[in-house]
Amino acid sequence: MKRRVVVTGLGICAPNGVGLSNFCNSLIKGISGISFHKDLADLGLGCQIAGKPEITESLKESYFTALQLRGLNSSGLVYGVMAGTDAWLDAGLDKADRDQPDWDSGILFGTGILGIDKLRESIYLIDDNNARRLGSNSVMQTMASGISAYLGGILGCGNQVTTNSSACATGTEGAIMGVERIRSGKAQRMLVGSCSDSGPYIWGGFDAMRILPSNYNGKPEEASRPMSASASGFVPGSGAGAMVLESLDSALERGAKIYAEVLGGAVNSGGQRGTGSMTAPNSQAVQRCILEALMDAGVKKSEVDVINGHLTATSKDAEEIRNWSEALECSGEDFPFINATKGLVGHCLAAAGSVECVAALLQFREGLVFGNRNCQDIHPDILKLVDASRIPQKTISYQPKIMAKASFGFGDVNACIIFKDYKEI
């Protein structure tokens, strides 16, 4: 039998809230974390707004030693360490003793491009014949696995410590991989999550592709408009989300609080065939991923009552809703409640899946379905499939039972995970 897996800890570093309390409050009240950034304007980017967590120097000092802070210039690593450490502490877990690692605990923390600002700084130093000024931690900040290595050293995890990278699907994919390791008996618990750098060297490429909105620079909080008829592109974001996944037996043995049970999940690719491409999902693959996740979870289509979608505020939103409708064989008032976290934080790229998983899971704890910001004008193609009441504009009181969270990434890759409200039997 597969071992049951539950979520016992959460950590978040998001544009609209650093720490669970701040983040949850913003989700409940519909507070946006998207703002104007002068550096983007000075560089001549069309989209001059973004979602970026606010991190003070004093806050960083509570997570990093003075030595670690010396030369630290990787925003994604900072976000990931903060979210991962917070999730570990939220789960009531201790750091391993200095002389012995925790063999039962591992880390699978993903990213896209890590340490781009540090890499740029390093290139200039090398080109100016100042390579010796790079500092001892430049390599750790610029390698993708630097985030999992950093967290591994802080927490002392002795099980698998690694990094995954699947564009926008990274966080959700990593959670599924963590579940599989626990199910198989290879680990008792896994810290899973993902992070993304912030700044023009990450966001500029998307601006050049002209897929970011350029007509909301004066009203940034209105710019990210998932499921809206007036959506004009995704707003770039950054941050990190983290979850502690744990075998149910282990969680019960130590009396841990449980946010939800993870019933299963699936990952696949559309192969960039048919309607799929580097930037567009293959609908057949998306639907297969949803159905395979339900099968892995042992859940009927009709049992899903809440969806946290990928929903990026592009022309593909209506297609995503159609894929959910066809996969679940539901429409109108029978469609599950659905929300899009990106309306409040933007598209956090590699961090998107984990930030949104944390948002999804908080709905179990709070007995709520968070509202959707900036979609008062729901796209007419979506309204043909879903009754407007299933897309709440404001947060509503409702206890989710079965929740599906999906992420679809650059390169035509997909991930879908299924959560269940946990009730001890």
Q: Do the domain assignments include residue 300?
A: yes
Q: What is the pLDDT of residues 297-355, one digit of tens each?
A: 999 999 999 999 999 999 899 999 999 999 999 999 999 999 999 999 999 999 999 99
Assign 425 a pLDDT band (cuts: 50, 70, 90).
very low
Q: 253, 282, 308: which is the final residue of a domain?
A: 253
For residues 233 and 347, membership in a common domain is answered with no
For residues 269 and 245, membership in a common domain is answered with no
Q: 198, 222, 253: which is the final residue of a domain?
A: 253
Minimal CA–CA distance to 111: which of 169, 53, 164, 74? 164
Domain extent, residue 403, equals 265-418
Q: What is the pLDDT of residues 403-419, one digit of tens each?
A: 999 999 999 999 999 99
All residues at 6 or more sequence positions from 296 whose CB lies less than 8 Å from its CB, including other chains: 263, 264, 265, 266, 418
Q: 193, 225, 253: which is the final residue of a domain?
A: 253
Helix or strand run (H / E) with residue 404 = strand 402-409
Q: Do the domain assignments include residue 37?
A: yes
For residues 300 and 220, membership in a common domain is answered with no
| CA of residue 165 relative to chain centroid, distance | 12
Helix or strand run (H / E) with residue 286 = helix 283-297
Q: What is the pLDDT of residues 104-132, one digit of tens each?
A: 999 999 999 888 776 767 665 565 566 55
Percentage above 70 pLDDT, the chain: 95
Indicate whether 160 pLDDT > 90. yes
User: The CATH number of the domain where 408 resides is what?
Assistant: 3.40.47.10
Number of domains composing the chain: 2
Q: Do the domain assignments include residue 90?
A: yes
Number of C-beta neighbours around residue 184 at 10 A = 10
Phi, psi of 302 (to 5 degrees): -70, -10
Radius of gyration of the chain (CA): 20
For residues 293 and 240, membership in a common domain is answered with no
